[in-house]
């Protein structure tokens, strides 16, 4: 009976180690994850938005055409 329990425990440990080893190998990032875009801050209101959605004027980023026309806001927040 003790031999049977020993073999069951040995097989269970082997299966557990095998699954743990397989899981650690499959953790690298997949190639279909989205690429992150840089975030920029609106010079007028300070909101952060993706750079591809922001408007740029003379090294300043803006979240909308209205804020671009109004220019930089007060930075004393």
Note the pLDDT tens digit of each residue in 41-74. 999 999 999 999 999 998 899 999 999 999 887 6
pTM score > 0.75 for this model? no
What average pLDDT does this structure show over 13-28? 82
Q: 32 vs 51, which has greater pLDDT?
A: 51
- Helices and strands counted in the chain (H then E): 2, 4
Instruction: Report pLDDT for 75.
Output: 57
Our CA dihedral for 56, 62, 67, 70, rounded to 10 degrees, sits at -50
pLDDT above 70 for 76: no
Q: 37 with 66: CB under 8 angstroms?
A: no
Question: What band does 77 get if pLDDT is binned at 50, 70 and 90?
Answer: very low
């Amino acid at each position: 009976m003790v031999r049977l329990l020993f073999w069951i425990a040995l097989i269970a440990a082997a299966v557990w180690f095998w699954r743990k080893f397989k899981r650690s190998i499959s953790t690298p990032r997949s190639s279909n994850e989205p690429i992150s875009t840089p975030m920029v801050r609106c010079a007028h209101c300070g909101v952060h938005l993706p750079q591809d959605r922001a408007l740029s004027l003379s090294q300043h980023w803006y979240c909308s055409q209205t804020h671009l026309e109004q220019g930089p806001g007060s930075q004393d927040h």
